[in-house]
Amino acid sequence: MSEPKLKDVLSRATAVLSEAGVDSPALSAQLLAEKVFGLDRLGLIMEMGRAVKEGPVAEFMELVERRASGEPAAYILGVKEFFGLEFKVGPGVLIPRPETEEIVEKVQDLFGADDNFLFSDFGTGSGILAVTVAKLFPRSRGIAVDLSPAALEIAQENARLHEVDDRVQFVLADFNRPLLSEAKFDLILANPPYLCEAELDEISYEVAEFEPVSALVSGPLGDEDIRGSVPHIGAALKKGGMSFMEIGYLQGKVAYDIFDSCADFSGGVEVVKDLSGHDRIVVAEKR
Ligand SMILES: C[S@@+](CC[C@H](N)C(=O)[O-])C[C@H]1O[C@@H](n2cnc3c(N)ncnc32)[C@H](O)[C@@H]1O
């Protein structure tokens, strides 16, 4: 039997993904095909008429089946883009979300490219915030903390990949406990888990089944890690230092109250909306 053409394999994969209810089935099939056949988007389009061998086709269809079963494309591909940079991801870390890019924009509003500052990233996950900030600000230095050794390993790999590993230290630590004995940081970034336990039943199967619960859920009300970390963020920031924390879109009021009732931040707190108009980032200045 003659070998199938790439375009036939792709339309078979698109049909499988569409049948499984995967979002953007054609695009998902293309992304997986680029990985297996070693082509970029343009190459894929130009090589549509090319015959493909049985081995790679079987490998490709295996990835398609994984995607059809709900496994996120980022875990299958092992990478996800954040702020224009490619990051390694794996089952031990949260897949970077586009709304988190708005924290990086806030840092760009605060500092000039040549500024020298010390920052921390509370709950670094794949390291996206720490690595992106270190990359954008070559004179900055950072300490990134997480409770998950698997996440720290991936974050360290991303720091090496983007050549900032000499300026970012990765530490296994609990951000709900004191981190340092002195106020040291100019900036603390945080994207703590913020879903409540009940929300876990409501979110998509892909997220609930494949992403780490410890990166998503924060106690019965979803605010345990905001409550737990704010006093330690306050204690670790220098006077005048800033904290940018991502929160759930329904947490604006509760997060504002938690920050504002902490003496370190009282009167210096603002909740900023994301591009979709939802409460998303708490901006707080250490008084
Ligand atoms: C929502 S994820 C954010 C990951 C990454 N910063 C991002 O924006 O994609 C929260 C991260 O906080 C970590 N984490 C949860 N509780 C923690 C704690 N008490 N101390 C330190 N890290 C914690 C989780 O392991 C996870 O990597």
DSSP string, 230-269: HHHHHHHEEEEEEEEEE--TT-HHHHHHHHHTSTTTTT-E
Taking the centre of ligand 1 as the mean of its atom positions, its distance from the CA of residue 282, in whole angstroms, is: 16
Taking the centre of ligand 1 as the mean of its atom positions, its distance from the CA of residue 216, in whole angstroms, is: 8
pLDDT tens for 176-216 read: 999 888 879 999 999 999 999 999 888 998 999 999 999 99
What's the pLDDT score for residue 30? 96
Taking the centre of ligand 1 as the mean of its atom positions, its distance from the CA of residue 162, in whole angstroms, is: 21
Class of domain 79-285: alpha beta
Distance CA 107, CA 97 (A): 17
- Best residue among 126, 172, 191 to mutate for probing ligand 1's pocket (most ligand atoms within 8 Å of CB) is 191
The H-or-E segment that residue 187 falls in is: strand 185-190
What's the pLDDT score for residue 1? 66
Taking the domains of the chain in order of start, what are their residue ranges?
6-69, 79-285
**Residue 220, amino acid:** P
pLDDT tens for 135-145 read: 999 999 999 99
Taking the centre of ligand 1 as the mean of its atom positions, its distance from the CA of residue 129, in whole angstroms, is: 11
Distance CA 211, CA 93 (A): 7
The pTM of this model reads 0.95
**Residue 43, amino acid:** G
Q: Which residues of the chain have pLDDT under 70?
A: 1
Taking the centre of ligand 1 as the mean of its atom positions, its distance from the CA of residue 191, in whole angstroms, is: 7
Question: Which atom of ligand 1 lies nearest, measured to the CA of 103?
Answer: 8
Closest CA to 94 of 122, 127, 66, 121: 127
Helix (H, G, I), strand (E, B) or coil at 32: helix
- Best residue among 103, 124, 244, 274 to mutate for probing ligand 1's pocket (most ligand atoms within 8 Å of CB) is 124
Distance CA 218, CA 11 (A): 42
